[in-house]
């Protein structure tokens, strides 16, 4: 059970790290319904109602490295428990 848990966490971190290598900036709309309701909104008004997330440069490499280490740790779990018993 622990091996599967750590393997899932490691794979998720590797996927998020690889995704953050590709995506540099994310724009999150505050309320999509309000933006879609009125067609007369300009792009400047849409930017004022949204949040912009800029990732630091170290985030993708940190997620990738921690994810790979977690995956390697999950493969070593069954051998450690078998030798301890």
**Domain boundary assignment for the chain:** 2-84
**How far is residue 50's CA from residue 5's CA, in Å, rounded to a whole number?**
35
Q: What is the pTM of this model?
A: 0.66
Please determine, for residue 35, whether its predicted confidence score (pLDDT) is greater than 90. no
The pLDDT score that the predictor gives to residue 53 is 85
**How far is residue 36's CA from residue 69's CA, in Å, rounded to a whole number?**
43
The pLDDT score that the predictor gives to residue 36 is 55
């Amino acid at each position: 059970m622990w091996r599967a848990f750590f393997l899932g966490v490691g794979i998720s971190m590797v996927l998020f790290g690889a995704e953050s290598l590709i995506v540099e900036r994310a724009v999150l709309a505050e309320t999509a319904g309000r933006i879609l309701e009125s067609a007369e909104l300009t792009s400047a008004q849409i930017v004022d109602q949204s949040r912009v997330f800029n990732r630091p440069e170290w985030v993708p490499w940190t997620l990738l490295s921690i994810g790979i280490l977690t995956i390697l740790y999950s493969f070593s779990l069954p051998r450690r428990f078998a030798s301890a018993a």
